[in-house]
Structure 1
Amino acid sequence: MADAHGEARRIGERIRRARVLQRRSQHDVAAALGYHQSKVSRLESGRGTEDIRVLRAIAQELNIPPHELGLAPSQDVSAADQEADDMHRRTFLAASIAALAAPAGSSASHTALVQALLPGPGPAGTGGPRDTAVLYERVGSALRLFHTCHYTELERTLPSLIADLRMATSDATDRDLVSRLLATAYQTTTSLLLKQHDQGNAWLAVGRAMAEAERSGDPVVLASSVRVQAHVLVREKHATEAVTLVRHTADQLTGSYDRRSPKYLAAVGLLLLRGVTAASSLGDRAATKEFLSEAKEVSRYVTLDRPDAWATFSPTNVALHELSALVAFGDAGLALQAARPLMRRHIPVPERRAALWVEAARAYSQQGRLADGYQALRIAETCAAQDIRRPDVRHLVADMAARDRRRTLPELHHFSRQLGVPA
Structure 2
Amino acid sequence: MTTNLTIGERVAWYRRRRGMPQEVLAGLVGRTADWLSKAENNRIELDRLSVITSLAEALDVSLGDLLAEPNLMEWSADSGHRTVPALRAALMDYTQLTPLLGHTPSDEPPALQDLRTDVAEVLDAYQASRYGFATRRFPRLLADAHAASRAYSGRKGEEAHALLALAYHGAAMVLGKVGEAELAWIAADRGLAAAQHSGRSAVTGSLFRAVTHCLLATGHFAAAIQLVHDASGVMRPGLDDAGGEYVSVYGSLFLAGAIAAARAEDRATAHAFLQEADKSAQRLGGDANHMWTAFGPTNVAIHRVAAAGELGDIQIAADLGPQIDTSGMPVERRARHGIEVARALSARNRTDEALAVLLEAEQLAPEQVRHHYLSRELVIGWVRGTRGRPAHPVVGLARRLRIIDGG
TM-score (norm 2): 0.73
Counterpart CA distance in 1 for 2:275 and 2:73 is 44
Within a 5 Å distance, the mapping from 1:181-200 to structure 2 comes to: 181-200=163-182
Matched residue type, 1:180: A
Q: Which position in structure 1 is the counterpart of 2:254?
A: 272
Which of 129, 147, 152 does residue 167 from structure 1 map onto? 147
CA drift at 1:341: 2.4
Give 2:84's aligned amino acid. Answer: H
Q: Does 1:117 align with 2:127?
A: no
Q: Give the Å deviation of 1:339.
A: 1.5
Q: Distance in 1 between matches of 2:116 and 2:106?
A: 15
| CA-CA distance at 1:268 after TM superposition | 0.5
Q: Deviations over 1:138-177 (max 9, x none)?
A: 1111110100111111111111111111111121132111
Q: Residue 328 and residue 102 in structure 1: after superposition, are their counterparts in 2 closer, same or farther (change >3 A)? A: closer
- Structure 1 residue 391 displacement after superposition: 3.7
Are 1:388 and 2:369 an aligned pair? yes
The answer as to 2:289 corresponding to 1:316 is no
Greater shift, 372-381 or 125-134, is seen at 125-134
Counterpart Cα distance in 1 of 2:71 and 2:343: 26
CA distance in 2, matches of 1:408, 1:395: 15
Residues 402 and 225 from structure 1, CA distance in 2 versus in 1: closer, same or farther, beyond 3 angstroms? same
Number of residue-to-residue matches in the alignment = 323
Quick one: structure 1 residues 405 and 187, their matched pair in 2 at CA, closer, same or farther if it must change by over 3 Å? farther
Partner Cα distance (1:361, 1:258) in 2: 40
* Matched residue type, 2:272: E
Following TM superposition, by how much is the alpha carbon of 1:336 offset from its aligned partner in structure 2, in angstroms? 2.1
CA distance in 2, matches of 1:372, 1:128: 55
Query: Which residue does the alignment assign to 1:419?
Result: 401
Following superposition of structure 1 onto structure 2, how do residues 296-315 of structure 1 map, counting pairs within 5 Å? 296-307=278-289, 309-315=291-297
**Matching residue of 1:354:** 335
Deviation at 1:235, TM superposition (A): 1.7
Assess, with a 3 A threshold, how the Cα gap between structure 1 residues 307 and 404 changes in structure 2: closer, same or farther: farther
Equivalent-residue separation in structure 2 for 1:141 and 1:104 (angstroms): 24
- Within the candidate set 371, 394, 398, 2:352 is matched to 371
1-structure distance, mates of 2:73, 2:131: 17
Identity %: 28
1:150 aligns with 2:106: no
CA distance in structure 1 between the partners assigned to 2:231 and 2:204 by the alignment: 9
Provide TM-score, normalisation by structure 1: 0.70
Q: Is the 8 A contact 1:330 1:366 kept in 2?
A: no
Is the counterpart of residue 210 in structure 1 residue 192 in structure 2?
yes
Output the amino acid matched with 1:315.
Answer: P
Cα distance 1:223–1:135, how it changes in 2: closer, same or farther (>3 A)?
same
RMSD, matched Cα: 2.7
Residues of 1 paired with 2:73 and 2:283: CA distance? 46
CA contact (8 A) 2:252 2:293 kept: no
Deviation at 1:367, TM superposition (A): 1.1
SS at 2:338 equivalent: helix
Q: Is the 8 A contact 1:257 1:298 kept in 2?
A: no
C-alpha contact 1:223 1:267 (8 A) present in aligned 2: yes
> What's the counterpart of residue 135 of structure 1?
115
In structure 2, relative to structure 1, the CA distance for the partners of 1:240 and 1:267 (3 Å cut) is same
Report what 1:54 is aligned to. none
Q: Do the aligned residues in 2 keep the contact of 1:187 with 1:228 (CA within 8 Å)?
A: yes
1:215 aligned counterpart, secondary structure: coil
Conserved 8 A contact 2:322-2:341: no
- Mark the runs of 5 or more structure 2 residues left unpaired by the alignment: 1-59, 61-68, 75-80, 97-102
- 1:234 is aligned to 2:216: yes
Partner Cα separation in structure 2 for residue 321 and residue 147 of structure 1: 16
Bigger mean CA deviation after superposition, 126-135 or 312-321: 126-135
Q: Is the 8 A contact 2:118 2:141 kept in 1?
A: yes
Preserved contact between residue 245 and residue 290 of structure 2 (Cα < 8 Å): no
Distance 1:244 1:103 in 2: 30
Post-superposition offset of 1:308: 5.4
**Cα gap change, 1:334 to 1:376, in 2 (>3 Å):** same
Q: Given that residues 73 and 132 in structure 2 are in contact (C-alpha distance below 8 angstroms), is that contact kept between their aligned partners in structure 1?
A: no
For 2:182 and 2:355, the matched residues in 1 are separated by 32
Cα deviation digits, residues 17-67 of structure 1 (max 9, x gap) = xxxxxxxxxxxxxxxxxxxxxxxxxxxx9xxxxxxxxxxxxxxxxxxxxxx
- Which structure has the higher relative contact order (CA within 8 Å, separation 6+)? 2
The answer (yes or no) to whether the contact 1:266–1:310 under 8 Å persists in 2 is no
**Partner letter of residue 118 of structure 1?**
M
Paired position in structure 2 for 1:15: none
Partners of 2:310 and 2:393 in 1: CA distance? 27
1:371, distance to aligned residue in structure 2 (A): 1.6
Distance 2:172 2:358 in 1: 25
